[in-house]
Amino acid sequence: MRNTSSIPKSILDMLEEIKMDNINSSIVLTKRLVYVLLDFIKIVDNPTIDKIQELIIKMIETQPMMASIVNFCNKILIEIEKHQDSIKETIFDYSNEFLSNLDNQTQHISNYASSVIHSGMKIATYSYSTTVAEMLNYAKKQGKDFTVLCSESRPSNEGIILARYLGENGIKTILVTDAMLFSNIKDVEIIFVGADSLNKNGIINKVGTSALAKIAFYESIPFYHLCGIDKILPYDYPIIKETNRNPEEILKDDINNVIVKNKYFDTTPFDYITGIITEKGILSKEKLLSIIGSYKTHPYILKHILSNNNRDGKNC
């Protein structure tokens, strides 16, 4: 990332690392971005609103489909406009409050989700979610004995990281290929997955989640997304068109007449899921849509995202 802005190179380098991270969960990446912002206000003596706006846009651009990042950035802009005479203090206070809430929400979600787990249950999950991983560990510590079926989660194989975490915490885990997970889903009693974001169209998560939810729906298997309220995008936040990812993750060498499509996300309609388990409890589709409708995107962020969408559309 070439430094053509007023943002220090050390900050830009950290942003580039987060942008290239296709393994860690949205919670992990959001925390890292919060610390990037805190580092920025330590380095820059008198950060102006203009400089913060520039950095906020670059933060969103690292992972524009992850709602917790968008919502954190959105709220920061709103807060500093209210307190223009104390920008550093406002950022410091809100950032630390946000980090504390992230840690607390996982505990509350774990309480709600583990209540539907019983000993002897066979559970399935997909991709890697910090919230799901910690909830399963919490349920284990509560004395519940269960088995988890998870897949490698191609092409980044973050499912293997989850399997290692579960196994090292004493949870019986069966690791399979993605195709085998789909073929053996009838053997499980419940499915828990994370979420990168929720919008008016449904839940955005690792590609393949939508197909898994539809199979579960027709097989009458309870299917839950676990995520905090911070994953809910405002109603007016534009739908981001995901660009094609690195084709070499699937195919190292070019083959004549073969085009590689590599996408990381899909959207699961609300009608195919049993519920969204949040720190506020299990929310209905109606409640979620009500929350989505009540959120607004900051005009500066909205203008930038719309401009990018229009430019990308012309380049298609």
Superfamily of domain 119-294: Translation initiation factor eif-2b; domain 2 (3.40.50.10470)
Q: Alpha-carbon distance 162 to 192, whole Å?
A: 13
The pLDDT value given to residue 315: 46
Q: Alpha-carbon distance 105 to 31, whole Å?
A: 14
Residues annotated catalytic, as ranges: 196
Residues in CB range of 74: below 8 A, 6 or more apart? 234, 297, 298, 301
Residue with tokens 């309870």: 222
The pLDDT value given to residue 312: 58
| CB 303 within 8 Å of CB 241 | no
Output the tens digit of pLDDT for each of the chain's 316 residues: 454 568 999 999 999 999 999 888 888 999 999 999 999 999 998 899 999 999 999 999 999 888 999 999 999 999 999 999 999 999 999 999 999 998 899 999 999 999 999 999 999 999 999 999 999 999 999 999 999 999 999 999 999 999 999 999 999 999 999 999 999 999 999 999 999 999 999 999 999 999 999 999 999 999 999 999 999 999 999 888 888 999 999 999 999 999 999 999 999 999 999 999 999 999 988 889 999 999 999 999 999 888 876 665 554 4
Q: Alpha-carbon distance 143 to 145, whole Å?
A: 6
Q: Alpha-carbon distance 68 to 29, whole Å?
A: 9
The pLDDT value given to residue 310: 63
Q: The domain 9-106: what is its CATH number?
A: 1.20.120.420
Residue ranges of domains in the chain: 9-106, 119-294
- List residues bridging with 151 in a β-sheet: 176
Which run of H or of E encompasses 61? Answer: helix 49-62
The pLDDT value given to residue 209: 97
In degrees rounded to 5, what are phi and psi of residue 114?
Answer: -65, -20
- The residue among 120, 115, 126, 169 whose CA lies nearest residue 146 is 120
pTM for the predicted model, two decimal places = 0.86
- The residue among 202, 206, 204 whose CA lies nearest residue 272 is 202
